[in-house]
Amino acid sequence: MGDANLPPTPPASLEAFDPETVLSKLTVDEKIGLLSGVDFWHTKAIPRLEVPSIRFSDGPNGVRGTRFFNGAPAACLPCGTALGATWNIPLLVQAGNLLGEEAIAKGAHVLLGPTVNIPRSPLGGRAFESFSEDPVLAGYCAAAIVRGVQQKNIVASIKHFVANDQEHERMAVDSLITQRALREVYLLPFQIAVRDSRPGVFMTSYNKVNGTHVSQHPGILRDILRGEWGWNGAVISDWYGTYSTVEAINAGLDLEMPGPTRWRGPLITHSLISKRISEKTLNERVLEVLKLVNRTRKSGVPSNALEGSKNIPETSDLLRTISAESIVLLKNQNHVLPLRKSKSVAVIGPNAKNPAYCGGGSASLLPYYVVTPFDGISPKVKSLKYSVGCYSHKMLPLLGPSLRTSDGAVGVTFKAFIDPPSVKDRSPVDMIHTVDTNMYLVDYYHPKLTEDLYWAEVEGSFTPDEDGDYEFGLAVFGTGKLYLDGEMLIDNETVQRSGGTFFNVGTVEETGVKYLRAGVTYKLLVEFASGVTSKLTGADGVVSFGAGGIRIGGARVIDPQEEIRKAVDLAKTVEQVVLCIGLNQDWEEEGKDREHMDLPGYTDDLIHAVADANPNTVVVIQSGTPVTMPWVDKVSSIVQAWYGGNETGNAIADVLYGDVNPSGKLPLSIPAHVEDNPAFLNFGSERGRVLYGEDVYVGYRFYEATKRPALFPFGHGLSYTTFKLSQLEVRNDGAMLRIQLLVENTGGCSGSEVIQAYVAQRSPSVKRPRKELKGFKKQYLGVGESKVIEIDLETRYATSFWDEERSMWISEKDTYEVLVGNSSTNTSLKTSFEVKETLWWSGV
């Protein structure tokens, strides 16, 4: 692979300016203009004072650039929970470096990530973006990513500050949280990131916390973030997450995004006249924006830079390493894994050939390429058999890769018009070739399309490889109809149903079925009108991000029972089976929470049947959050592979065949049933509020407190080798806690172990979890190698809880136990230390 569409290398830096001096020269109107974006991704420039416009880009697992539709391809990293599963801080710094380099290629100055919210429930629609249920692991991961990004002089925008932990009514919901839980669980990851990496930007969350939207919450933005933590930087809103003029500016929200403004402009002028906003406060907000713009000059990225890609072998190698290190071996009965390359193998399942490389929403992007599990396994074996087994899609698989344009290219032709189809001989104003038939037109622009209302056609041809019924699907934000050889197969215009597509403003996927013959070419045409023609009225949590959307899918109609029978017959003919199952970005996406934890469709039936047919069955799960596993006792081996990015298939194959020894550990607990989760009774908005009723007992803290075991505990992960931990010692000098132990590789191959250090207070004055993760280290050891490792912690961070009476952290005089092991339920080493005097403290 070589460089593709790589923009010119930027200079080492652009000329900086003095923000204070510029501030003194700005007019009031210019100041006001700097406090909101000018479009979806850019800030306002002040040319006369040489203040450039800067560019933001999503994040968090890649850098999309300015275009959802027809953008430059990008590197797609594993999802947030996968990154958390590496437990490898130096590796995550490298991941941050890569994100910084990708941002430079896209001409972006600020990366909208990492996401540092807490997946308090497996059902959270964006939980896959976050690192962990544990605030310490999440905080260290966040700090590593931020550090890596900012080493490249790209500014990281940590998000979503704070408690943006569900999608249901996310802009309206009031998160009701005790001060202890807020501090010890939800704010702590951000606090650690401020302490260890000083992110340049904070993005506020959509929701309220205890009655006030965070984007206008002085207690959180002014008193905690800037006051107590002493953080300096720009605070920006999430997109359309500003809800006021005066309150937001006075609380400390510097920049409203996106533009053009809804809440600033003349409203600030009026507020200055009425003295609801002071000149001093206005200057404070403007100065933070100027400081941010000035800081980004170090990147060397010019304003409005060309957007390109940097698809190089070094990127692929790093992505493959990260993805492989994230994979968690949950179960390996009878040592079925690693698979033997000399033995016959069948790859079965709906995820085998359909790539599940990232979650949906603002985390999604157009990847350089995607390696499926089937593609990854193929080069490792002489022959490979395949069966789909069943379907598991929520929406029909995107049809683009199976279509051809009129000149034979893979994909479709998109044509834009200023006239409706009723105008004869109309001519397109724009023609675009694209393979991606999930077209979110939020940032689509053409100079001749000057009105919100425009029309489009999407054309391609489809040639099936076997006879049968084929189902086609069309979802739109706007209105549309799908034709096959001139016959209208789908009408998604006359009557429309809300379906949560396109960030919850689009329709359901309407479908139509037609019998097609193998080898015959059929012309597919979609006629579309832009978003303003939508007949949908109101939707849960709607944020209308743009001008329209078109999603075209399709697949051959199958008989599920017949396909399962074929898979079983195939499994009986081979020595090893890899079952590739799970979810995809239609199931886990921004804008909508999951309804349950179960696998879709006939997946469980398929697993049961194949496992009965072949005892050497390995289940590979691709999902960002836990799924129910009613077959857990029946299959030999289970691998949690997450959404692994561009290299997901290669990484899976590397682990399955032992080219990489699995070393991932669960960053969140996997319950047996969704009802076991501590947030089960308190998830989702009810009359505009959600009670965080589990308090500080999130994840493993709850399972241990209630003695209700998780199916797979937090921190769990097996290896192809074995490790021995011994000789635990702890020294506390009052300020620092040094944990030291010996780690030995006692097995037959090299590998890495994650040593996890938990702390428990013996006689606390309040109820506390039985133990809490406070530090960890991932250590690689060769066969027979041993090493003394050290984990250094600040004593106050290792021992404190939030004292609600004093509104301060408290480290009580007491005896504290240190429990060390390789999961939350396997902490075989134990010792203790003393805190001799009670200490109250605040800050970072």
Q: List, by residue number, the catalytic residues.
A: 238
CB atoms within 10 A of CB 260: 12
d(CA 498, CA 673): 29
Report how far Cα 451 is from the mean position of its chain's Cα atoms.
34
Residues near 521 by beta carbon (within 8 Å), at least 6 away in sequence: 461, 462, 463
At position 646, the amino acid (one-letter code) is: N
In contact, 239 and 261? CB cutoff 8 Å: no
Instruction: Report helix, strand or coil for 764.
Output: coil
In contact, 300 and 12? CB cutoff 8 Å: yes
Helix 188-197 to helix 135-151 angle (10° resolution) is 30
In contact, 610 and 568? CB cutoff 8 Å: yes
Task: Please list, residue by residue across 456-469, b when 16 or more beta carbons sit within 10 angstroms of its beta carbon and e when fewer do.
Answer: bbbbbbbebeeeee
At position 834, the amino acid (one-letter code) is: E
In contact, 74 and 136? CB cutoff 8 Å: no
DSSP code of residue 277 = S
Alpha-carbon distances of 522 from 477, 514, 605, rounded to whole Å: 25, 11, 35
DSSP code of residue 154 = P
Instruction: Report helix, strand or coil for 584.
Output: coil
d(CA 399, CA 470): 12
Residue 148 tokens read as 């890596």
Report how far Cα 707 is from the mean position of its chain's Cα atoms.
31
Instruction: Name which of 576, 179, 563, 182 is nearest 346 in CA terms.
Output: 576
DSSP code of residue 67 = -
Instruction: List helix spans (H) across 159-299.
Output: 179-181, 188-197, 218, 246-251, 266-273, 279-296
d(CA 584, CA 599): 11
